Amino acid sequence: MSEINSIGLVELSSVATGYMVEDVMLKAGSVQLLLARTICSGKYLIVIAGNVAAVANAVQAGGLAAGAALVEQRQIPRVHPAVLGAISNAVDIDPKQLRSIGVIETFSAASIIEVADAAVKAANITLLRIHLAMALGGKGFLLMAGDVSNVEAAVKAGCKIAGDDGVLVGQSIISAPSDELFRDYI
């Protein structure tokens, strides 16, 4: 497979259609499957990665195959590399490095990926986690860390994307988070 610099997401209202769309997407381009699973509210989410053209082909094919079951489809070209680590919960950070934590929550799982990409590109922060829809009623959220001014800038950039799409649920910035917060939620 060629360079991974794009992520594509398709969210569906039907699990049965989801399996079929997943197959269509994987056959439509040379892409890597990052995630395909049922999510809250009885929906199905497919997340793929690859080069921009291959992901575009796969997302377009998946959207067409989904028909009326399509909830949302997105492609994020030139995605920041930190997004991939945060999706897979592969980010390690020393709690002593935490000066502040930012949280952004959206109504859809697919939208939080684009929000995270905008946030990490806007400021010097570490994406800690991108949570996609499980035990959230189909919503998504992200956690980020950095100094207060960078977290504020990143939250502002991410909230702009979510607000423009009409999917922003909430946001918060926590200065000097407690050790317990880090242990329990990060």
- Per-residue confidence (pLDDT) for residue 1, from 0 to 100: 45
Cα separation of 178 and 162, whole Å?
28
pLDDT digits (tens, 9 = 90+) for 5-50: 889 999 999 999 999 999 999 999 899 998 898 887 788 989 999 9
Using alpha carbons only, give the angle 25, 28, 34 rounded to the nearest 5 degrees.
40
DSSP string, 132-168: ESTTTTT-EEEEEEE-HHHHHHHHHHHHHHHHHHT-E
Q: At what angle do helices 15-28 and 52-66 cross, to 10 degrees?
A: 150
Using alpha carbons only, give the angle 88, 58, 24 rounded to the nearest 5 degrees.
100
pLDDT band of 62, cuts 50, 70, 90: very high
Structural domains present in the chain = 6-77 (3.30.70.1710), 81-185 (3.30.70.1710)
Tokens encoding 127: 């994406």
pLDDT at 185 over 60: no
H/E segment holding residue 82: helix 81-87
- pTM value? 0.81
pLDDT digits (tens, 9 = 90+) for 71-129: 989 998 888 888 877 776 666 776 666 788 999 999 877 788 899 999 999 999 988 88
